[in-house]
Chain A
Amino acid sequence: MKVDPITFAVIKSGLDSIADDMAYTVVRIARSEIVKDVMDFSAALCAGDGHMVAQAKTIAQHLGAIPEAMASVMDKFEGNLHEGDVVIMNDPYHGGMHLPDIFMFVPIFHGGARRAFAVVICHHTDVGGRVPGSNASDSTEIYQEGLRIPPLKLYDRGVLDKTLEALIRINVRVPDRVWGDLSAQFAAAQVGKRGLEKLIQRYGADEVDAYMQELLDYAERMTRAEIKHWPKGTYRFVDHIDDDGFSDQPIPIKVAITVNDDGTLFVDYTGSSPQVRGALNSTLSFTHSLTYLSVRCVLAKDLPNNVGLFRCIKVKAPEASVLNPVMPGPCAARALTGYRVFDTMLGALAQIVPDRVPAAGEGGNSVICISGLRPNRQPFIIVDMICGAWGGRPDKDGVEAITNASQNLSNMPVEVMEAEHPVRIEDYSFVQDSCGAGRHRGGVGIRRSYRILADEALLQMRTDRVRFAPYGLAGGAPGAQSRNFMEVGNERTALPGKITTRIGKDTLIIHEQAGAGGFGDPLERDPSQVVEDVLDGKITAAYASERHGVVLDSSRELDVAATARLRASRSGISEGARHGG
């Protein structure tokens, strides 16, 4: 095919733009905060053969999960898909990720032939199971986690399957919300369908299809060309999840990345923890997804996000491990494992492309789930996600109050949460001194406090990095660990990282998320930057002198002489400490 550069550019951007329009539709009409405010959903377009060609700027973690999900749909329905069909699926053992993420696939036809699929994934507020939110990290079997949906037609040639609708509605705690969000997925798919039809009208179906395939080849060519420049060899790294909430056994994630001569990578997770009892198991599709996106983060910015990239990366995760569980392993809290895969991959990639990789971030969003009954006996469920901080970078500081780079989450506005739920947020702010020190410091962590206004509520927290702090790089210090507290009256008690417990009215729950790791020697940090951080209250004067050897005088200005003296006396110790540690 002769590639016309303008047509190629228009179709490439056109597909991205349709995917973004689909995503925008979800935001506009979804019913639950987790979708419309936190933006835990994604939208994509696949070619007629099911290969993903474009993804909206939504959740990066969903990026690589579509191929397996699509394969499972094709497995069941190939040859039996028609105009007006809508297929849904959420089962991790049928290509899904965890039960709250319901996939929706809508085939798009033109001239009698299937030309594309619109795919929309939403994290639903609840899909039943033993705990509101269906997101608990302390389930031990997938059967406890909620309603499992294998690939099924929700609509068959435009006709709604009322049996399936009734089955879903009766199994979930907030049926109107779930149905509303499913409707939003449906509407988004229609928007995708219309956009694609417009593109086909303008360029012709065969032409659009040919350019879709060219997009995949293009992504593969670009990826290989870049990896070919990387130093050949095998690079290893290990990071940990604190525990699964049942035992205090740390959960190691181990990786060995081999850079091959032909511009491909072999990523081997052998040595990672066996499957765990709690719900932290990451399905193979999700493990793939995180692997792809980690590599994607260190490649050129303008690469398309599609299957062409995935073709260059081969992944091995041992069966029955935390990265490739077998039935009936629970998966609800698998996102955390995904985050740690991301941290581990970046730790190994830092050895390959050290000028492109930051120190570790907060370690993934925390999930605070508060549920109960309103005074009118109607249930409420808050699924709140807290982000985040980036580690110090090779050339500059990290970032605070930012989505984990493997996601693209937003935050639930305090005013929205308070208007919808019996809770009051008393604090949403930075945690002083929580950044990892370095020549380029990590971002500080975030604190969020919840006052319970309902008579009684069920609290579930899924937080991590309470024991294993986010790592620093190139001599930078790790970030501060996460902390959780509960206040009843004036009495404050510490809570563990993962907990499910009943709490009473007026209880205050406080979560402090980990700060990010630093990059480079903290004693090499520009003293004026340290002073700025003190003036802004992001660090204390004590932190400035202890970690950076920077002294402020009584008018809170840099004391140049005292700083020079302190740094001189400290450099030896710091050097020794580094060698010792």
Chain B
Amino acid sequence: MDGIGRVRIAVDIGGTFTDIALLTDTGLIHQSKISSTPADPSMAVVEGVAQLLAELSIDPAVVAEVLHGTTVGSNTILQRKGARTGLITTHGFRDVLEIGRIRMPDMFDLTWDKPAPLVPRRHRFEVNERMAADGSVVEPLSEATVIAAGEALAAQDIEAVAVVFINAYRNPAHELEAAAILRAHFPKLLVTTSCAVLPEMKEYERTSTTVVNAYLLATMRAYLQRLQEGLLGVGIKAPILVMTSNGGMLAADVTCEKPVMVVASGPAGGVVGAARLGLARDDRDVIVFDMGGTTAKAVIIEDGRPTMTSEYEFRDGISTSSRFVKAGGYMLKVPAIDIAEVGAGGGSLAAIDRGGLLVVGPESAGAMPGPACYGLGNDRPTVTDANVMLGFINPNSLAGGKLAIDRSRSEAAIRNHVGGPLDLPSADAAHGIRAVANAAMARAVRAVTIERGRDPRDLTLMAFGGNGGVHAPDLARQLGIPRVVVPPMSGVFSALGMLASDVEHTGLATVGRRIDVMTADDLRVIKDKLQAQIAAQLARDGYGAERTAFLWEADLRHEGQATELTVPFEGEDFAKIRERFVAEYLKTYGYQDHTPIELMKVRVAGRGLRDNRLDFRGMKIAPRRGAPGAGTRQISFARGEPARTVDVVARSAINSKPRSGPLIIEEFDATIVVPPDARVHKDAIGCIVLEFAP
């Protein structure tokens, strides 16, 4: 076993497949993919990891850590399957959660609806207490009213409760007291206080974030506990780290307290990976396109960094975080990668609606029963069925032969549910399904490019997910994008991406003082306290002082402003900090302001320096069994065009010399379609690059 050493495993759970990537400390990467188990997603993880370790004859005890991207948080909200959640507020503020910030996402739209609050009014209770804005007590907490609220919650079978009091960000005493009373009298109730989740001013943002945390708590804890136990059961004692919404890593025990940090965990791994891969191939401005079984997602990477947001709104359908428009969904004031998502993926079902229109998604056949061609009980056509029928995807088996499929079932499903009702030949119907799916996916790309004034024609489209390479060429053509890059291991790229990320813990101290009255010592005290706190967290993850690095940022503003500018700094020299801020302010806003400057927050990112973070430039991928062989297929690339003979080749057949389409490149679990008007080559890292003539 010496040759294997300490291995790291990354697992990404999608709606359809669970992907696993394993990195040995010699830099060799192995991969695996199995069907997800939505009823208990941890089952697939444990089974898949155990299988892979067994295949490779690796002792589970040498696994150093398990990195994990999960959709448990987002699915729980989407399907409204979170805990029955209650809310306890200061007297007079029962409706803060539902009132929100009043605004609407679009002007002139009289048909708009606010999302229903996660806690209906009947489950929101008020208690007598009041803090003043300066943190002094106006009215002490009435224990009797807390107990009465607890009893009312218990009578309504409430499982989790958020406690959010006005001005608790200044003085959390009443929240803590109320939480203690509730825990003592109602031990079964899971209590979340706002001061523990988001100790910041503005009651709605704090309430909403705390409520989502409470809503997710039970589900996330149960899930991570099952996962931990399952992994222990197969001999893996390594710590679990969960990918956060902003692409960092959080220890499982912290995730169990603050699940709100990992709501958008699922897609983050791929984005982090795409950013690193882009840097490795000198492509700093990239559209990331991740097409899975249930949804497709798009993110912009600018100058090597994914675009981030400090708060976002989680909602159904297309979810684009807007920095400006509020009220689209459930407000989460946590840092996150700025992602647009649409409900169209390989498993999305095609149907004819009442008006006779062909629609695709958001309903999905998921992993079970899956597309019609799986033969597992679904006879309605999906996007994958259209691809199978037209020959874009291998008509005999998927996942390197692990999953046998039946093309005739795809054809029957399309004929019965789309072709027949529309009186179209089945091939035309299949092209139609693809076109509708492409249009939906293009919306996600448009949301992060065109709708923000960025021309997609200046960018590279980096596509992954099992179907990414099948549809990306169509999107590129639709939007005029000149280049499509499909990374190695594109079918499990989200898992791969996690291996390229750092363990990172972030800390924040609220200051709120003018810098002209602060001394270097004041700042040192703040920094020392923060650094000690983050260092302790890193130590728990196994990173001692010699393997950590700390990056400092200051949030500054001119007195009276609502938002800050963030500038990096080192040391404690306020003259330098001021200089940076003044320069940044002038650059951003085009004028110099002479009013006093306030230091609002000090932030730190503490990183655990790994010796074996994945480096794309030196990546070695283990060969795998079941790679498909060469051959030819008859394919019609567009509706009405006659089918032509197209070569099917393995990824290894592509080299640095450009080659003209049409061509199908098949790998273990992903397919790349090279249309007739594209040229294809492989870059030094192993990415497949498609280029379209302008």
Contact = CB atoms under 8 A, between A and B. Distances in A.
A229 interface: no
B516 interface: no
A28 B106 contact: no
Contacts of B509: none
A13 B450 contact: yes
B110 A187 contact: no
Nearest to A411: B102
B122 interface: yes
B145 to A, nearest CB: 16
A354 to B, nearest CB: 13
A390 B102 contact: no
A28 B562 contact: yes
Interface size of B as a range: 35 or more
Interface string B99-117: 1111111111111111000
A405 B113 contact: no
Contacts of A416: 201-202
Nearest to B561: A29
Contact of B166 (A16, A195, A409, A414): A414
Contacts of B455: 10, 202
B610 interface: no
A507 interface: no
A388 B121 contact: no
B59 interface: no
Interface stretch (B63-71, B355-363, B587-595): B587-595
Given A29-B561, A415-B201, A535-B122, A187 B589 contact: yes
Contacts of A235: none
B120 interface: yes
A49 B106 CA distance: 27
Interface in B125-182: 130, 132-133, 138, 166-167, 169
Contacts of B93: 414, 427-429
A403 B93 CA distance: 19
Contact of B102 (A297, A356, A401): A401
A18 B169 CA distance: 35
A29 B558 contact: yes
Contacts of B563: 27-29, 36
A284 B588 CA distance: 37
B132 A13 contact: no
B692 to A, nearest CB: 14
B570 interface: no
Given A30-B562, A199-B453, A428-B96, A24 B323 contact: yes
B479 interface: yes
Contacts of A387: 102
Contacts of A193: 590
A389 to B, nearest CB: 11
B103 A410 contact: yes
Interface residues of A, number: 81
Interface in B58-102: 92-96, 98-102
A568 B351 CA distance: 43
A30 B167 CA distance: 23
A532 B595 CA distance: 53
A105 to B, nearest CB: 16
Given A301-B109, A424-B138, A14 B453 contact: yes
Interface in A28-68: 28-31, 36-37, 39, 56-57, 60
Given A13-B452, A449-B92, A403 B102 contact: yes
A13 B109 CA distance: 18
A177 B560 contact: yes
Contacts of B572: none
Contacts of B120: 536
Given A24-B324, A411-B99, A60 B201 contact: no
Q: Looking at B95, B203, B325, which has the most chain A CB atoms within 10 Å of its CB?
A: B95
Given A191-B590, A301-B109, A414-B203, A428 B324 contact: no
A408 interface: yes
A234 interface: no
Given A402-B114, A418-B132, A425 B108 contact: no
B107 A18 contact: no
A514 interface: no
B375 interface: no
A453 B76 CA distance: 44
B589 A57 contact: no
Interface in A412-453: 413-416, 418-419, 424-430, 446, 449
B558 A419 contact: no
Given A297-B110, A387-B102, A425 B92 contact: yes
Interface string A163-188: 00000000000001100100100110
B101 A411 contact: yes
B203 A413 contact: yes
Contacts of A194: 590
Given A415-B169, A424-B138, A429-B95, A536 B590 contact: no
B451 interface: yes
Nearest to A28: B563
B106 A301 contact: yes
Contact of B590 (A18, A31, A187, A410): A187
Contacts of A299: 108
Contacts of B335: none
A57 B325 contact: yes
A464 B604 CA distance: 50
Contacts of A415: 133, 166-167, 169, 201-203
A6 interface: yes
A296 B132 contact: no
Nearest to A535: B122
A382 B110 CA distance: 30
Given A30-B562, A36-B562, A401 B98 contact: yes
Contact of A410 (B102, B560, B591): B102
Contact of A446 (B99, B166, B325): B99
Contacts of A176: 560, 595
B450 A9 contact: yes
A77 B188 CA distance: 72
B457 interface: yes
B105 to A, nearest CB: 8
A88 to B, nearest CB: 15
B324 A27 contact: yes
A76 interface: no
A502 interface: no
A186 B586 CA distance: 12
A30 B446 CA distance: 31
Given A301-B106, A393-B111, A418-B132, A180 B590 contact: no
Contacts of A180: 558, 560-561, 595
Nearest to A556: B122
B204 A413 contact: yes
Q: Looking at B103, B109, B167, B455, which has the most chain A CB atoms within 10 Å of its CB?
A: B103
Q: Looking at B111, B451, B453, B593, which has the most chain A CB atoms within 10 Å of its CB?
A: B453
Interface in B431-456: 446, 450-453, 455
A537 interface: yes
Given A193-B590, A538-B121, 17 more contacts: A10-B455, A16-B453, A36-B561, A177-B560, A180-B595, A297-B108, A297-B110, A401-B95, A405-B108, A409-B103, A411-B102, A413-B202, A414-B166, A415-B201, A416-B202, A429-B94, A430-B98
21 contacts: A16-B451, A17-B451, A20-B322, A20-B324, A27-B324, A27-B563, A37-B562, A177-B560, A180-B560, A187-B591, A297-B109, A393-B110, A399-B112, A399-B113, A401-B99, A405-B104, A405-B108, A424-B132, A429-B92, A430-B121, A537-B122
Interface of A: 6, 9-10, 13-18, 20, 23-25, 27-31, 36-37, 39, 56-57, 60, 176-177, 180, 183, 186-187, 190-191, 193-195, 199, 202, 293, 296-299, 301, 305, 356-358, 387-388, 390, 393, 396, 399-403, 405, 408-411, 413-416, 418-419, 424-430, 446, 449, 535-538
Top-5 shortest CB links A-B: A190-B590, A187-B589, A14-B453, A17-B453, A36-B562
